[in-house]
Amino acid sequence: MRPQSMNRDWIATARTLSEALPYLQRYTGAVVVVKFGGNAMGDETAMADFARDIVLMRQVGMNPVVVHGGGPMINDLLAKLGIKSEFVRGKRVTDHATVEVVEMVLSGLVNKRIVQAINDQGGRAVGISGKDDDMMVCEPDDPELGFVGRPVEMNVQVLRDLYNAGIIPVVAPVATGVNDNETFNVNGDTAAGAIAGALKADRLLLLTDVAGVKNKSGEIVTQMSPDEVRNMIADGTIAGGMIPKTETALKALDEGVRAVVILDGRVPNACLLELFTDHGAGSLIRSTEPRMKPRSR
């Protein structure tokens, strides 16, 4: 005879699946761009958990597109190679030697680790970069920074071809330049926002190392409008590293993304909590689209 506690666990699991049904139906066929980065990338267990969530999203009919960063890995290899970095206003100057390392780490080491993790969980993933099929074409974001790019042209048909074939694209934020033989490093959030905008994605999930956008009292703001975000930037409530993330969110919304969520990628099953529960996760930024139900927190 099965223990009563085990029966309760199975009943709770069945109830959770049943309650998720409206959300599973809501997101069938939806394009969801997920920016993956932060500490979770260096932890094998967290990587496997993330990969399992992405495979589940694909299995229930969604079209996930993963875009990743890899700053700590880039720093490690630069240090091993003895390549010193200069910084301007807190941003790394990316010269020819540095951008070669960036491409090796992002398109090679990091990209293939994520692809392998997804495949290990039963998914079908293919790794590409923004250079493939000239998907992401850039100009210099700031001449002082060298080969740090700002996307000016997006050609995302290759992503549609992949997810329409049941394949999960995993994109390294390395791009081609408007001039021949140029390679640009692109901020991972910026790349994810540009890809989500070009795909007119249903959701852009920006996984980070914080729980979301906080108000002046230090509480997480669970739902925000673009005007509220702008006001919080203007009055200093949103500051530091959260500014570029929220600016990416605003730009993505302007380009046709239905909603953007900034959430803590260290939380187990963060993507699933956001997409398939009433409670959600992190800070949802949207223009006019209502949630199926208001968040409970």
What pLDDT was estimated at residue 9?
Answer: 62
The structural domains of the chain, with segments of one domain joined by +, span 26-286
29-53 average pLDDT score? 87
- Where b means 16+ CB within 10 Å and e means fewer, 138-176 reads bebbeeebbbbbebeebebeebeebbeeebbbbbbbbbb
pLDDT, one tens digit per residue, over 3-21 is 555 566 666 656 666 666 6
pLDDT, one tens digit per residue, over 227-268 is 999 999 999 999 888 888 999 999 999 999 999 999 988 888
Domain range 26-286, CATH class:
alpha beta
CA-based nearest residue to 195, from 56, 34, 30 = 34
77-99 average pLDDT score? 86
Q: Where are the beta strands (DSSP E) in the chain?
A: 31-36, 63-68, 87-88, 91-92, 125-129, 136-140, 149-154, 168-172, 174-177, 183-185, 203-208, 223-224, 259-264, 283-286
219-231 average pLDDT score? 92
The average confidence (pLDDT) of the chain is 87
Single pTM value for the model: 0.89
CA-based nearest residue to 31, from 269, 180, 197 = 197
**Is-contact 257 201, C-beta < 8 A?**
yes
